[in-house]
Chains A and B, each alone.
Chain A
Amino acid sequence: MSEIRTFPDFLKRLIIVLGGLLILAIIIFGVLIYTVPAISNFNGILLESLSNPIVMLNYLDSLGVGINSLFFKIVVFPGYTWAAIIAAEIIWFERKFLAKMQVRVGPLYAGMIGGILQPIADVSKLIFKELISPSRSDKLIFFTIPLLVNAIGATLLAVLPVSEGWLIMRSEVSMLIVFAVIGFAPITVLLAGWASYSKFPFIGGLRGLHQMIAFEIPMLIAALSVVLLSGSLDLVNIVQAQSNVWFIVLMPIGAIVFFITLLAELERIPFDLPEAESEIVMGYLTEYSSMAFGGIQLGTYIRFYALSGIFTTLFLGGWHGPQFLPAGFEIINQIEWFTIKTLLVMVTIIILRGVNPRFRIDQLLRFSWSRLLILAFLNLFIAIFILQMGWFPFGGGI
């Protein structure tokens, strides 16, 4: 492939790529039209739907990608596209909000209002960078890490109960799924540090491993008290058990413990040691560039959204909220309340970033193993006490 040196070169390359894509699309579409009968009358449906959109919706239903289909839920809403949009906007919001706290302006130029297209500009820049990796690194593991990080975020999204009826997957053991996935996260950190074959990422990977493992246990125990009180491992049931009173009122200590461990699992300040810039360059992410880095950032922010959603589910009453839309739109009402609460949690986490410096690794581990663990157990005993006293019926107010 020839190098791009001038603007006419760039235009030529662009035309070649677009032309190639167009030809590819025509070939594939042509093959499909003759083999899959459902698509063969696509043109007719297209014309009809210009005057009557329901026709298009029915047609998509028949293809299996309609609004109520699993495909739509996973890919568009409340699945990956929705999470990616929230992730992008949270990146923008974080930068703008932190800037205001720090007497600065933040992103300003990209997009019409206050730099709102800044994340897209960043992603475009990342795409054009060169994808390099250290020469002696293990290329297979090195380039699988972005996929793994995204897989963790996506799995958490899959069990997130956005509303009562309409969610991606409802399972009787969704809490266990959440914890299995969170338990897998330290392995990605360690692998990223190890596969980079360099001193600073290695130290960062080890630190990340220690930190995440240390904070998982208080997280588990705090969530265990929620499971006790609601009597089920199913996230939907947990939310339904909070229809009268949210669990944060019954178990404030547990909520605080879970919130702090959340910060540690997400590696956010004050717990962002694995990426501590001033000491180990960028920690286990040092050697990642271009879209590998972009993929990891996307996965990290999706995990941010997903774990905040889990916090909302466990302690803030999930989708419960006063109905302010007319009847028949309950689902949208529920989705709205869920989103508002999750966004509030994320904003709180961002505020904490602006006010705090960073912990040192041994202080962090000591904090987790001695203080948080004790508080989590205390919370467990409180939950058992509440159950024994009969103040909260087993299974909630269903």
Chain B
Amino acid sequence: MSGTPEIKQEHPKREKKIADNIAVKLKKDILDIEIKPKRIKVKIKHQSIKKAANYLKTVLNLDHVVSVSGIDYPNDNEIEIVYHAGTYEHKDLSDLLVALVYRIPREKPKTLTLTDVWPSTEYDERETYEMLGVIFDGHPKLEKLFLPEDWDDIPPLRKDFKNPGR
């Protein structure tokens, strides 16, 4: 799932330019960049998530977040959080999505919220909190969204939670 990009094939120009800009600006925070047509994936260190998000919003004008996903990797003992951001205002970038990816340890899944940068992440982060147990510091209302209030089991989307009856 990790990969070394930039070797195999010719990259689309627009995405390459944007990826280079990101690489220049966020030098040391970036662990990896993958480029595919219309999709750029930027892997960053956990601590620099706010800086990267602000850069994406203010300089690249990615004004909303399409999805916040959490993926559980019990083998690596980590949880990966993915933010997919896009733009409505700039018509020439309207099909581009930039994915901000970072990993946090599975035992202590604490991270910062991005609701002050992108208001559209509010309910997504709540869902990730209840489904994977990730705590977003600074979230205005970190409560259960879909699960019943008296849920006492482990967060359901973790790999060690087995669906009853399977």
User: Touch between A and B in complex, CB under 8 Å?
Assistant: no
| Contacts from A to B (Cβ < 8 Å) | none
